[in-house]
Homo-oligomer: A and B are copies of this chain.
Amino acid sequence: MKKTSIKDIAKLSGVSIATVSRVINNNGRFSEETRKKILDVIEETGYQMNFSAKSLRMNKSFSVGILVPDISNYFFSDVVQKIEEELFELGYSTIICNTGRNIEKETAYLNMLRSKLVDGIIVISGVDEFVFHYDDIPYICIDREPLKKEKTIFISSNHYQGAFEATESLINNGCKHPAILMYDRQSSSAKERFKGYKDALKKNNISYNESSHLLLSGLEENFTENLQAFLERTDQVDSFFAVNDTLAMKLFSSLKELGEKIPEDFKIIGFDDSPLAHYSSPTLSSVKQNTDKIAQLTVKNLIDFISSGKIINYQTILVPVELVVRNSSLNN
């Protein structure tokens, strides 16, 4: 006798395979009526739930993995939570892997996700040159551009636009010498923000000079001293575009230590529009990423990819950002 499959259960119950999986895994939404119907069919047919690798692979596991560099980062945790919510609505579990921007961990977690038979993977890579080595799992890259682009979709905020608008807003508010504060590691998003900053200077006839415009930081202990040295070297600096809100807050506390006032002495704009921006004093102007939209697009494209099984041509989807102006960059 042919062994009963999950497909047979779905057919006999008059529901989709996805629904049967949801009931078996007790995952996602289904009515009590549906549950009863499916359990009856399972009982009648003597169907044995088979969690072996191969059968799960064929039947789909209704789980998706996501690599994230750092869950304590506001943008990452926000977008990951929204993706989880969207996927759960569709009957998928989300396996979150925190990779700490470590290439060894990214590789280890990709292997783990594969061994756990996830149906697809969402990658926010924390390393410079991310390469995905597997041909058998659909994946989508968000925020950090992958090195190989043939077999994925890349979804990202328009970091260039955000940095351009932030910088131009400082200039429009009277700043003559806006500096940029960024980490010394250069993700694809940081590079785009740097480009946007420089192009805004150029458009406004301010010539960029590395030693007086660029302050690199790794959130080091002696940040205040480095900032002081930078300001002494370049006494024309009157404002900062910080590539994220954490760096902007670092600036806030160090400038205050140095006796400077915000926005009177220095205007500041951050990036991410994190809760810090609302609670700091003064409140922080910041570039808001549309995490709802990024999560929606990511889930839609991944599920299409999983369902069709087709390798989709590479495309980049840029999601617009919005500059939220608060007190830290306004004129007095």
Contact = CB atoms under 8 A, between A and B. Distances in A.
26 contacts: A25-B115, A27-B112, A28-B108, A51-B53, A52-B52, A52-B53, A70-B81, A71-B80, A71-B96, A72-B74, A81-B100, A84-B98, A84-B100, A88-B105, A88-B108, A94-B98, A95-B95, A95-B112, A96-B96, A246-B275, A249-B278, A249-B279, A253-B279, A276-B276, A280-B281, A281-B281
Given A25-B112, A107-B26, A275 B276 contact: yes
| Copies of the polypeptide in the assembly | 2
Interface string A243-279: 0001001001100000000000000000000011011
Interface in A135-161: none
Contacts of A94: 97-98
Contact of A26 (B111, B117, B278): B111
Nearest to A248: B279
Interface of A: 25-28, 51-54, 61, 63, 70-72, 74, 77-78, 80-81, 84-85, 88, 93-98, 100, 105, 107-109, 111-112, 115-117, 246, 249, 252-253, 275-276, 278-281
A80 B111 CA distance: 21
A71 to B, nearest CB: 5
A131 to B, nearest CB: 14
A107 B28 CA distance: 10
Given A63-B116, A93-B112, 17 more contacts: A25-B108, A26-B107, A26-B111, A27-B112, A51-B53, A51-B117, A53-B53, A71-B80, A84-B100, A88-B105, A93-B109, A94-B97, A96-B96, A96-B98, A116-B116, A249-B279, A253-B279
